[in-house]
Amino acid sequence: MDILFDVDGTIADVHHLWAERISATYERQLRERGAYPFTFEDISDWSFGPKAAMLGLSPQDCTDMIFQLWKERWREVPTVDEGVSRAMQELAAFDIVTSDAQGQEIQQWLGEQRIPYRAFRQGGSSLKLTYDILVEDNPALAARIREGQHLLLRDRPWNRDIPDCAHVRRFHGSEELPDLIERIMRNP
């Protein structure tokens, strides 16, 4: 079975840095509306949340800022939790698939985190949906996976409206992943 790991929000916590940057850049506008600071929890939907919309930021604006953060500050991007590298080292071969533009910086980051991937690929949902097991934070994939595919959804404020079902499993910590994936591979 082919396994993919997404990067942003799944293994790399670039969203905390992003929320900090929004707070700093838009401090005045946020304070005027009684909405300061902009926090990680404010990213409460896949469009970066109502506060981002209130600031006039489109999802593409927000994504561009994420790309910019990877370019400028990739060394400061933390893993989503402390168990990311260990869990991924335990797993069978998997690919890293990201729609991020900053492929070079992300591969440097993966190297520094000692994450042993099989291939690094850049692409969006249509590429991701060619895999059997998708480790992701994107709630939109839940409606698109087919029979025989499995979505392991990293719990994030922007995907909490997706319920578990036979092919969608929410996980909260990376240490859950080796068992979850082994169970799927034994009984697909």
Indicate the residue among 8 and 42 with the shorter CB distance to Mg ion: 8
Indicate the residue among 8 and 13 with the shorter CB distance to Mg ion: 8
Q: Which candidate, 57, 58, 64, places its Cα nearest to that of 23?
A: 57
CB of 30 to Mg ion, least distance (A): 25
CA distance 22 to 32: 15
CA distance 143 to 127: 16
Task: Please give the residue ranges that form the binding site for Mg ion (CB under 5 A).
Answer: 6, 8-9, 137
CB of 31 to Mg ion, least distance (A): 30
Indicate the residue among 9 and 139 with the shorter CB distance to Mg ion: 9
Indicate the residue among 6 and 105 with the shorter CB distance to Mg ion: 6
CA distance 55 to 178: 40
CA distance 86 to 90: 6
Contact 153, 142 (CB under 8 A): yes
CB of 57 to Mg ion, least distance (A): 18
Contact 125, 144 (CB under 8 A): yes
* The Cα angle at residue 80 between residues 168 and 120, in degrees rounded to 5: 75
CB of 62 to Mg ion, least distance (A): 13
Indicate the residue among 30 and 62 with the shorter CB distance to Mg ion: 62
CB of 10 to Mg ion, least distance (A): 5
